[in-house]
Structure 1
Amino acid sequence: MSNFRGQDRMELKALVDYYATESDKNNQDCYVEIFRPDIKLKVYFNGKLGMTANDVQDMIRQYKAFGAAKVSFHMNGQQSLDFQDDTHATGTCYALASLVNEENGKDKLTVHAVRYQDKYIKVDGRWWIAERDQFFEWTAFPSLS
């Protein structure tokens, strides 16, 4: 494992886990604690660019516009990191996002496989996500019965 930096790795893992946990609570307002104010965000659906944001407030507004799921469950998997120096790193995190929404009076489950490619920056002793490319790799609609 190159560039092993134990404390930095734990802090960056906590950062992406905090994003998932708060997303489950439908708390997009907390994104100001995770993403730099001038975040560069690109979201891809089936390989096609579907959303962009160039600041955290625009990002929050767009995510809120999707509406809240009745229930959501984000589970992060592995995270790979590469440190350029003491204050810059890149990383990839894999996740499954399960969302339950009501459709025609019935609960409908949607599962997304998501890959986040992030650029991190450390400012005043703490890590932030400065850029994110978010890829929805596949989506499934399993039965809830």
Structure 2
Amino acid sequence: MDFRMQDRMELKTLVDFYATESDKNNQDCYVEIFRPDIKLNVYFGGKLGMSATDVQDMIRQYKAFGAAKVSFHMNGQQNVDFIDENNATGTCYALATLVTEQDGKDVLTTHAVRYYDKYVKIDGRWWIAEREQHFEWSTNQTLG
């Protein structure tokens, strides 16, 4: 198989693993996805809202948001550009839906998220080395 096709499949698996484990509220698995020296910036409506320069700090900050009662992350298209055999950039589009409790009522929040990633392949394995996470828009509605 063409290395690019195999690499594309591995990169898609990497970002999908992030989504499925996030649904399980398993931020500890991020050490299997992101480089230890990850450079992360999270933007809400174009404004920087969170930043981390190592994976343990990233995990701590995500855990501080608190767990949703239910969450559902769905990845859409992923565009990948290879710089060379061990470096690539990519954009992944996602919808993240979360059910949280506010004032005794369940609230459904939907986020449209765009991830701008830099990937690195080390010892035959892909990692996310840098991520810009953009929450493009969000909606809330009270359930039942």
Structure-1-length-normalised TM-score: 0.96
Please show how residues 59-74 of structure 1 align to structure 2 within 5 Å. 59-74=58-73
Deviations 1:74-129 (A, max 9, x none): 00000000000000000000000000001111100000000000000000000000
Query: In structure 2, what is the equivalent of residue 129 of structure 1?
Result: 128
Identity of aligned residues (%): 78
Query: In structure 2, what is the equivalent of residue 11 of structure 1?
Result: 10
Offset of 1:4 from its aligned partner? 8.1
Query: In structure 1, what is the equivalent of residue 115 of structure 2?
Result: 116
Query: In structure 2, what is the equivalent of residue 44 of structure 1?
Result: 43
Offset of 1:72 from its aligned partner? 0.3
Offset of 1:69 from its aligned partner? 0.2
Counterparts in 2 of 1:6 and 1:111: CA distance versus 1, 3 Å: same
How far apart, CA to CA, are the structure 2 residues paired with 1:4 and 1:96?
29
Counterparts in 2 of 1:124 and 1:4: CA distance versus 1, 3 Å: closer
Q: Secondary structure at the match of 1:141?
A: strand
Counterparts in 2 of 1:83 and 1:71: CA distance versus 1, 3 Å: same
Whether the 8 Å contact between 2:105 and 2:142 is mirrored in structure 1 is no
Deviations 1:4-44 (A, max 9, x none): 81100000000000000000000000000000000000000
Counterparts in 2 of 1:4 and 1:113: CA distance versus 1, 3 Å: farther
Unaligned stretches of 5+ residues in structure 1? none
Query: In structure 1, what is the equivalent of residue 52 of structure 2?
Result: 53
Whether the 8 Å contact between 2:34 and 2:55 is mirrored in structure 1 is yes
Q: Secondary structure at the match of 1:15?
A: helix
Structure-2-length-normalised TM-score: 0.97
Aligned AA (1:76): N
* Consecutive aligned runs of 4 or more in structure 1 exceeding 4 Å deviation: none
User: How many pairs align?
Assistant: 143
How far apart, CA to CA, are the structure 2 residues paired with 1:6 and 1:142?
40
Unaligned stretches of 5+ residues in structure 2? none
Query: In structure 2, what is the equivalent of residue 107 of structure 1?
Result: 106
